[in-house]
Chains A and B, each alone.
Chain A
Amino acid sequence: MKFDKAAGENTLFDNAEFVGRPTHRIDGPLKVTGTAPYAYERHDVVEGQLYGYPLGSAISHGLIVSMDAEAARNAPGVRAVVTTLEIDPLEKGMNNVARLFGGAEVQHYHQAIAVVVADSFEQARAAASLIEVEYEKGDPADYDLGAAFERLQGSGEMDTDTGDVEAAFSSAAALLDEMYHTPSQSHMAMEPHASIVDWSDGDQMTVWTSNQMINWNHGSLATTFGLDEDKIRVESPYIGGGFGGKLWLRADAVLAALGSRAAGAPVKLALPRPFIMNNTTHRSETVQRIRLAAGEDGKLTGIWHEAASHALPDGRGEDATAQTPFFYASDSIRAKHHIVTMSLPESADMRAPGEAAGLMALEVAMDEMAEKLGMDPVEFRKVNDTQVNPSNPEQEFSDRNFVECLDRGAEAFRWTDRNTAPGATRDGQWLVGHGVAGAYRGALVLPSGSRALLEGGKLVIETDMTDIGTGSYTILAQTAAETMGLTLDDVEMRMGNSAYPVSSGSGGQFGAASSSAGVYAACMALRERIAEQLGVEEAEFRDGRVIAGDTDRALSELEGQIDAVDSIEWGDFQSEYQMATFGAHFVEVGVHAGTGETRVRRMLAVCDSGRILNPITARSQVIGGMTMAVGAALSEDMALDSGRGMFANHDLAGYEVAVHADIPEQEVIFIDTLDPVASPLKAKGVGELGVCGVAAAVANAVYNATGVRVREYPVTLDKLIGGLPAIG
């Protein structure tokens, strides 16, 4: 199905019975009883599974001179050892920047350099510790991103350069020029990267893994091992969290495959938790300089945003300027992302890559500018709203209701009752403050396919789409039931398998809109098949029946199996528009007047994401983003050991994510919007919007509570305590 013009009025989904209704997860009972099988747990899929354990490099860059694996090979229970010196560098898979295995060169700390396969986990782990490695360290490296930014700012061609920024800054009524810093962050999904691989015969390869993108993973395995794609099957029906960390092929699958080949048996391997930070990918630290110019009316006349992040050679880093060309109206906008090469683990996508880090700075800058102008920060943002792409005014937004988000939020949060002067409100020992921030995240869509198969009135949907906790199983079942006029009980979802049609996969907030359209496409194709079989035209499908003229048949009475495969393809007309999602976040914090400890007291998100396919799972996405952002605001910080080129706090004790006690009452409002340009269901993603801007709202609330402006995340008490108001 080609989506080649905006969805019309009064569609199937505008009068829906299932889509848009609060629906509990259909996979819920499996998850709450521990019976949903995750990658490492597939005891049933193949006999004789052995255990793999990885060895990671102990240097950040350089060469491996020698490896002595003799003791490991002779250790009890060991079936095979594969060291990186024994094989040529493996071809890199899609978007892998660092090599996953093979060869003598070390590109980052904890890069995989050996895998041990043994009869038991304990034996494999013990044997891995017996491998002796001699390294030749590379030259001392520079890890100072701030210094690199100083050198690079103003250099190179700007990514965006519209209007006359210089003129705007020379004639503005109010100016802001500040530096901001966001630390490196780790996805830290609860399920570590894990795979079982059966490549025993060196021919067919079956991979049970934890991956967001089946088709990318499948293709990358073929590239990495030089296999035909039809020799490989990948399954990933349940994924214990991804957040972008499981978009690509990673070392778990590669090591399990090599181990399986060497041992001639299936091998299961999970990355130990300390590997997650330095072996897998992370969100890069950013250094950002934001300059704003505004007139007395509060209208922005100039935005100049330059940022730097680290990456390995050819890496993409974290583009903190991603939202800047699109979010606020301004006569002139200049933006540039400088990528600084560093010998650190691979930086790549993490939930809302770009915007998450960029809005942590931009939305603080907006708060600061509002204060300079003497304006309410809500009003200041409203004044600078736009209905066209500010860096390309010819292009309209497909649907943008940012002002409504701000208004609804201000009302629901009782913004007018907020603390207005920094440090002025006390509640016992706590200084109370309120903050607001805007949220922007692009609404990308990708082609997405599925198969719809009807037999005996039961509908099976097969697609390689994944559910990483987002609720895909449920929203796709809702879409299928809606389109076929069946009930949810009539639909069986089969997902996360390379044997099924290629979908969008889960990432970049594109999954829900893309894959639901893909299921709709296949179901519409199935409807055509059914109509053909009955020899009718313009059939209606409702209440389990197909109705056309004199024909009225129950779908359960149709003979045999009827199936159809189709995918959604996106028409060029979409590029005439800027498609995005918007939000407003409101936060109340208490900062302890004596210690500077910050506690978030209440949070509100108002989201504009087109049709919400399932308010229950969408709300969970948003509160999950808000929770992750509380960590980003107050505690998450990958601590760089600049002597060794690695992140030192590589576990869940040292890398502090938000826990139950950190999270207060959270409210989410979805404003009732539809985006007919975005998809046939008029829906857009929401999972990444929830993390965008929230950390800045927290930082702004801390400023409002204390009068201390922190521009370097996380906002920890040591950065506040010196500036707290005197205790009266």
Chain B
Amino acid sequence: MSPPIEFELRRRTLLAGSAAIAMSAASGQRSAAQTVTPTGTPVGPESTAVTLTVNGEERELTVDNRTTLLDALREQLKLTGTKKGCDHGQCGACTCTVNGQRINSCLSLAVMHDGDEVKTIEGIGTPEQMDPMQAAFVENDGFQCGYCTPGQITSAKSVIEEIRAGIPSHVTGNLTAEIALTDAEIRERMSGNICRCGAYANILAAITQVAEGDEA
């Protein structure tokens, strides 16, 4: 998006100013790079080869350096179960796990993940063979439109693991005791996954059902 005119003018003034400061600080190379490089022309290689293990399968990719892990999954590997809701790390729809930990894949560049193990919703279960968490989401109607759902399910599985691993949250009262799998803990830890359809109460029921099932 092109910025407003006033901002554009200010930005140019700012750039000229910072170039002058850089020059006076005898950092000639940097200021030259700023002033000489034509806009839109990359200064180095534009793409990088990476190897990811995705859902247990090794995948070799050449990615534009700007490509997020999310877009590498969705556009190159065509694993579209991981969703793009905001592309800003604000909604959680893009949640997948990297080396066993959940992350917002839209906030992470694919080039940072060479050699990493990525697991997406497609690796969790299939319509014919659903993971217990997926089945619990269906049973408890833990979704409506379904768009945030893969992220919710990925987070839900991680939340149970994180609580059992003793990782505290904002609502954990006692940091030295074993963390109880309470409604408050689950709600707090799931709050990075927004559901605009408002299925939260049902998602909580699904997670609780799975967690209790594990313990039974």
Residues of A within 8 A of B (CB): 24-25, 27-38, 40-41, 43, 55-56, 58-59, 71, 74-76, 120-123, 126-135, 187-192, 238-243, 270, 272-273, 468-471, 616-617, 619-621, 623-628, 644, 651-653, 657-661, 663, 665-666
A-B contact count (CB 8 A): 225
Question: Is B213's CB within 8 Å of the partner chain A?
Answer: no
Top 5 A-B residue pairs of the complex, sorted by shortest distance between their CB atoms = A34-B81, A627-B198, A240-B147, A31-B146, A469-B144
Closest B residue by C-beta to A51? B75
Q: Are A33 and B130 in contact (CB under 8 A)?
A: yes
Q: Which of B145-162 contact A (CB under 8 A)?
A: 145-150, 153
Closest B residue by C-beta to A276? B86
Closest CB in chain B relative to A3 CB, distance in Å? 28
Contacts of B149 in A (CB 8 A): 31-32, 34
Closest CB in chain A relative to B54 CB, distance in Å? 13
Closest CB in chain A relative to B14 CB, distance in Å? 17
Which of B17-25, B26-34, B173-181, B186-194 contacts its partner?
A: B186-194
Q: Are B120 and A241 in contact (CB under 8 A)?
A: no
Contacts of B51 in A (CB 8 A): none
- A30: which of B75, B93, B127, B196 is its contact (CB, 8 Å)? B127
Q: Are A33 and B134 in contact (CB under 8 A)?
A: yes
Q: Give Cα A56 to B122, complex, Å.
A: 35
Contacts of B145 in A (CB 8 A): 189-191, 238-242, 468-469
Whether A660 contacts B198 in the complex (CB less than 8 A), given A34-B150, A126-B40, A273-B87, comes out as no
Closest A residue by C-beta to B122? A34
Q: Are B81 and A35 in contact (CB under 8 A)?
A: yes
Q: Give Cα A514 to B81, complex, Å.
A: 32
Q: Are A273 and B88 in contact (CB under 8 A)?
A: yes
Whether A32 contacts B130 in the complex (CB less than 8 A), given A652-B90, A660-B204, comes out as yes
- B82: which of A34, A43, A129, A238 is its contact (CB, 8 Å)? A34
The contact string, 1 if C-beta is below 8 Å from chain A, for chain B 56-77, is: 0000000010110001001100
Closest B residue by C-beta to A273? B86
- B196: which of A32, A35, A657 is its contact (CB, 8 Å)? A657
Q: Give Cα A32 to B154, complex, Å.
A: 10
Contacts of B202 in A (CB 8 A): 620, 623
Q: Give Cα A20 to B199, complex, Å.
A: 21
Closest CB in chain B relative to A621 CB, distance in Å? 8
Q: Are A41 and B204 in contact (CB under 8 A)?
A: no
Q: Are B198 and A626 in contact (CB under 8 A)?
A: yes
Question: Is B210's CB within 8 Å of the partner chain A?
Answer: no
Q: Are A34 and B80 in contact (CB under 8 A)?
A: yes
Closest B residue by C-beta to A652? B90
Q: Give Cα A192 to B191, complex, Å.
A: 20
Q: Are A240 and B146 in contact (CB under 8 A)?
A: yes
Interface residue SS majority, chain B: loop
Question: Is B37's CB within 8 Å of the partner chain A?
Answer: no
The contact string, 1 if C-beta is below 8 Å from chain A, for chain B 112-135, is: 000000001110111110100011
Q: Are A653 and B195 in contact (CB under 8 A)?
A: no
The contact string, 1 if C-beta is below 8 Å from chain A, for chain B 92-125, is: 0100000000000000000000000000111011
Whether A660 contacts B190 in the complex (CB less than 8 A), given A34-B120, A34-B150, A626-B198, comes out as yes
Contacts of A471 in B (CB 8 A): 144
Closest CB in chain B relative to A400 CB, distance in Å? 27
Contacts of A624 in B (CB 8 A): 144, 197-199
Q: Are A133 and B2 in contact (CB under 8 A)?
A: yes
Q: Give Cα A33 to B55, complex, Å.
A: 13
Q: Are A129 and B2 in contact (CB under 8 A)?
A: yes
Q: Are B194 and A58 in contact (CB under 8 A)?
A: no
Closest CB in chain A relative to B149 CB, distance in Å? 5
Contacts of B135 in A (CB 8 A): 32
- B64: which of A43, A71, A120 is its contact (CB, 8 Å)? A120
For B, the interface residue count at a CB cutoff of 8 angstroms equals 71
Q: Give Cα A272 to B3, complex, Å.
A: 16
Q: Are A25 and B194 in contact (CB under 8 A)?
A: no
5 pairs across A/B with beta carbons < 8 Å?
Answer: A34-B79, A34-B122, A130-B39, A623-B201, A627-B195
Closest CB in chain A relative to B209 CB, distance in Å? 14
Contacts of B45 in A (CB 8 A): none
Whether A619 contacts B141 in the complex (CB less than 8 A), given A34-B81, A660-B190, comes out as yes
Q: Are A620 and B126 in contact (CB under 8 A)?
A: no
Contacts of A28 in B (CB 8 A): 137-138, 141, 143
Closest CB in chain A relative to B189 CB, distance in Å? 8
Contacts of A135 in B (CB 8 A): 5
Closest B residue by C-beta to A78? B40
Q: Are B199 and A620 in contact (CB under 8 A)?
A: yes
Q: Give Cα A637 to B192, complex, Å.
A: 20
Q: Give Cα A663 to B46, complex, Å.
A: 45
Closest A residue by C-beta to B6? A58
Whether A661 contacts B188 in the complex (CB less than 8 A), given A71-B39, A190-B194, comes out as yes
Closest CB in chain A relative to B79 CB, distance in Å? 8
Closest A residue by C-beta to B66? A122
Q: Are A55 and B78 in contact (CB under 8 A)?
A: no
In this complex, the member of B80, B90, B126, B135 whose beta carbon has the largest number of chain A beta carbons within 10 angstroms is B80
Q: Are B191 and A661 in contact (CB under 8 A)?
A: yes
- A272: which of B39, B87, B195 is its contact (CB, 8 Å)? B87
Closest B residue by C-beta to A125? B66
Closest CB in chain B relative to A659 CB, distance in Å? 4
Closest A residue by C-beta to B82? A34
Q: Are B91 and A24 in contact (CB under 8 A)?
A: no
Q: Give Cα A76 to B40, complex, Å.
A: 8
Q: Are B126 and A190 in contact (CB under 8 A)?
A: no
In this complex, the member of A133, A187, A190 whose beta carbon has the largest number of chain B beta carbons within 10 angstroms is A190
Q: Give Cα A24 to B142, complex, Å.
A: 11
Q: Are B4 and A38 in contact (CB under 8 A)?
A: no
- B86: which of A240, A243, A652, A661 is its contact (CB, 8 Å)? A652
Closest CB in chain B relative to A236 CB, distance in Å? 12
Contacts of B121 in A (CB 8 A): 33-34
Contacts of B71 in A (CB 8 A): 121-122
Q: Are A660 and B187 in contact (CB under 8 A)?
A: yes
Contacts of A71 in B (CB 8 A): 39-40
Given contacts A58-B3, A659-B192, 19 further A-B contacts (CB under 8 A): A33-B121, A37-B80, A38-B80, A38-B83, A43-B78, A58-B5, A120-B75, A130-B40, A134-B5, A192-B84, A239-B145, A270-B84, A623-B201, A626-B198, A627-B200, A651-B86, A652-B194, A660-B190, A660-B193
In this complex, the member of B139, B190, B197 whose beta carbon has the largest number of chain A beta carbons within 10 angstroms is B197
Contacts of A24 in B (CB 8 A): 138-139, 141
Contacts of A653 in B (CB 8 A): 88, 90
Closest CB in chain A relative to B132 CB, distance in Å? 11
Contacts of A132 in B (CB 8 A): 2
Contacts of A41 in B (CB 8 A): 74, 80
Contacts of A122 in B (CB 8 A): 64, 66-67, 71
